[in-house]
């Protein structure tokens, strides 16, 4: 264990000092917060690929959270995600058990629908992983139009700017590869991990040839697939620029203050309400990685089927009721409409509707709101898991292990989106957890899930069989219903898997 006076680490840009936190049983966690991995994306570097950090002299204190691309505090999120003002938004938090070690590393990419989220959430603190011998790095990346807007160089030419958020994540991984040994981490044993938009980012990176040397394993918690066509991303960007009163060019948007641009983006998003929101989500009309033919050469599933990332072990899964709480928010009249009519309002493919209703007949008795919430859960989240797992089946497969999360919160009766995050991080004692998990969340479940993550990051295979087309073996954490069996957990979403071939 390192001594207190040794808590200065020499990065490639200059030395940084960290802070020691004492844990239970004599363990320690050393935190280095807000360490820049790229130059501040301001001025001429705004709407530009990430650039190297200018070196500094003297020891830089890394004891306070760094600035975030999230411009203002968002209070409606399930996960506490602090917004921190400042320009140096491209930074990482490093949590390590010992700066003289050579431990496995987990690089965490936060969620937030690519428009919000923060690497500084107390739920992403790596202290529990440090206790168990894993270095943890949480990464910031540009969001919304700043991170995923598409701006053309000139009419008819290819995009001059696209997928800056993806490039940020690549730059962060490159920083980890060059610097993590100084923090006690092993650059050869890096696992990329994330939840929601972060898990989508994990799959994007897993399917990118350029990213392959930068990590060894991947953990995707509740991913979606939003690698949208270029024209849709262009349309989004132009709508935001028009709302901000600026041309949809690099120079035009550089002239719009970040807060004003964020407000223009939010105003566009708020125009869609009710079923329009569902239809937009199902059509992939969200911010996120774009198939631009350069940074992201082809759609994620296409790339995975072609064998990119096949040698990397993957642990992937989703919650039973990702958007189950939607059923509690829909108007009462949705329960009086015939199921086939209700489904027609959100999905046009008649074959997909009929196939889904056949496989999920039991939901008809629970009412239209539950059926619709379940359908959106399956269409946006759960079908992605078997689709990705199937795409990776082959002779060169590094292994795909599938899990499910079935524990229902006593707060609302759903095993919903984000509820599983504090279990993975074993941080049930955080004050904000009770708001989603009740006053007595299951510590035994947290220990089991956290242990599975630690084991995987260390390089061990999960303790259940790999996914196969025949059995669809799934490890269900917190199962509390007979439907949550090991082989049938994703059956309800299977009629929608084929749609991923043609949706985008």
Catalytic residues: 196, 322, 417
Residue at token pair 């202290």: 127
| Tokens representing residue 448 in the block | 């089991």
Please state, in angstroms and rounded to a whole number, the distance separating the CA atoms of residues 363 and 378. Answer: 13
404 CB neighbour count, 10 Å cutoff: 23
Please state, in angstroms and rounded to a whole number, the distance separating the CA atoms of residues 163 and 237. Answer: 12
List the alpha helices (DSSP H) in 57-188. Answer: 127-131, 144-148, 164-179
Contacts of residue 182, defined as CB under 8 A and 6 or more positions apart, other chains included, come to 9, 10, 11, 99
| DSSP assigned state of 53 | P
Burial letters 261-286, b for 16+ CB under 10 A, else e: bbbbbeebbeeeeeeeebeebbebbb
Handedness of CA 443, 448, 453, 457 (dihedral sign): positive
CA dist 214 → 10, 191, 353, 454 (Å): 21, 9, 41, 19
Alpha-carbon dihedral 237, 238, 244, 247, rounded to 10 degrees: 120
| DSSP assigned state of 312 | S
235 touches 197 (CB < 8 A): no
Please state, in angstroms and rounded to a whole number, the distance separating the CA atoms of residues 93 and 238. Answer: 34
Q: Which three-class secondary structure string do you get for 217-264?
A: EEEEECCCCCCEEHHHHHHHHHHHHHHHCCCCCHHHHHCCCHHHHHHH
Contacts of residue 219, defined as CB under 8 A and 6 or more positions apart, other chains included, come to 106, 191, 192, 193, 194, 202, 314, 315, 316, 453, 456, 457
SS3 480: coil
148 touches 163 (CB < 8 A): yes
Could you write out the DSSP letters of every residue in 328-393? HHS-GGGGGS-HHHHHHTT---HHHHHHHHHHTGGGGGG-HHHHHHHHHHIIIIITHHHHHHHHT-
Q: Which residues pair with 482 in a beta bridge?
A: none
Pick from 226, 178, 179, 177: nearest CA to 198: 226
109 CB neighbour count, 10 Å cutoff: 30
Please state, in angstroms and rounded to a whole number, the distance separating the CA atoms of residues 88 and 131. Answer: 30
| Tokens representing residue 356 in the block | 């889904």
């Amino acid at each position: 264990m390192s001594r207190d006076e040794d808590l200065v680490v020499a990065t490639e840009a200059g030395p940084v000092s960290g802070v020691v936190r004492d844990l239970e049983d004599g363990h320690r966690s050393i935190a280095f917060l807000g360490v820049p991995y790229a130059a501040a994306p301001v001025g001429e570097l705004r709407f530009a690929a990430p650039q190297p950090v200018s070196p500094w002299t003297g020891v830089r204190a890394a004891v306070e959270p760094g600035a975030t691309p999230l411009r203002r505090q968002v209070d409606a999120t399930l996960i506490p995600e602090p917004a921190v003002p400042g320009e140096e938004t491209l930074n990482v938090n490093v949590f390590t058990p010992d700066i003289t070690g050579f431990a496995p590393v987990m690089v965490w990419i936060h969620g937030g629908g690519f428009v919000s989220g923060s690497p500084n959430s107390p739920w992403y603190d790596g202290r529990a992983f440090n206790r168990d011998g894993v270095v943890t790095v949480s990464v910031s990346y540009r969001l919304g139009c700043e991170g995923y807007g598409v701006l053309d160089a000139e009419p008819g030419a290819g995009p001059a700017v696209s997928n800056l958020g993806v490039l940020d994540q690549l730059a962060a991984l490159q920083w980890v590869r060059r610097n993590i040994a100084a923090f006690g981490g092993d650059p050869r044993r890096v696992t990329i991990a994330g939840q929601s938009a972060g898990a989508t980012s994990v799959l994007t990176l897993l399917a990118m040839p350029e990213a392959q040397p930068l990590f060894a394993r991947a953990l995707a918690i509740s991913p979606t697939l939003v690698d949208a066509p270029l024209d849709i991303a262009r349309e989004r960007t132009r709508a935001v620029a028009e709302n901000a009163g600026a041309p949809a060019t690099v120079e035009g948007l550089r002239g719009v203050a970040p807060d004003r641009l964020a407000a223009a983006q939010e105003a566009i998003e708020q125009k869609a309400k009710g079923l329009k929101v569902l239809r937009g989500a199902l059509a992939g009309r969200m911010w996120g990685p774009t198939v631009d033919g350069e940074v992201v050469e082809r759609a994620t599933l296409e790339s995975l089927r072609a064998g990119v990332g096949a040698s990397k072990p993957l642990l992937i899964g989703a919650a039973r009721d990702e958007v189950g709480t939607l059923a509690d928010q829909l108007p009462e009249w949705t329960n009086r409409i015939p199921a086939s009519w209700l489904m027609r309002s959100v999905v046009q493919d008649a074959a997909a509707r009929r196939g889904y209703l056949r496989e999920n007949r039991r939901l008809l008795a629970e009412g239209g709101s539950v059926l619709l919430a379940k359908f959106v859960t399956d269409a946006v989240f759960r079908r992605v898991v078997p689709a990705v797992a199937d795409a990776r089946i082959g002779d060169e497969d590094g292994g795909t292990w599938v899990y499910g999360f079935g524990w229902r919160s006593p707060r609302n009766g759903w095993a919903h989106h984000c509820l599983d995050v504090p279990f993975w991080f074993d941080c049930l004692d955080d004050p904000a957890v009770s708001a989603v998990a009740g006053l007595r969340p299951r510590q035994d479940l947290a220990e089991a899930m956290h242990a599975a993550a630690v084991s995987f990051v260390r390089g061990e295979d999960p303790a259940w069989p790999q996914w196969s087309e025949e059995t669809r073996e799934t490890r269900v954490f917190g199962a509390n219903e007979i439907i949550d069996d090991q082989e049938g957990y994703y059956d309800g979403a299977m009629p929608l898997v084929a749609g991923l071939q043609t949706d985008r």
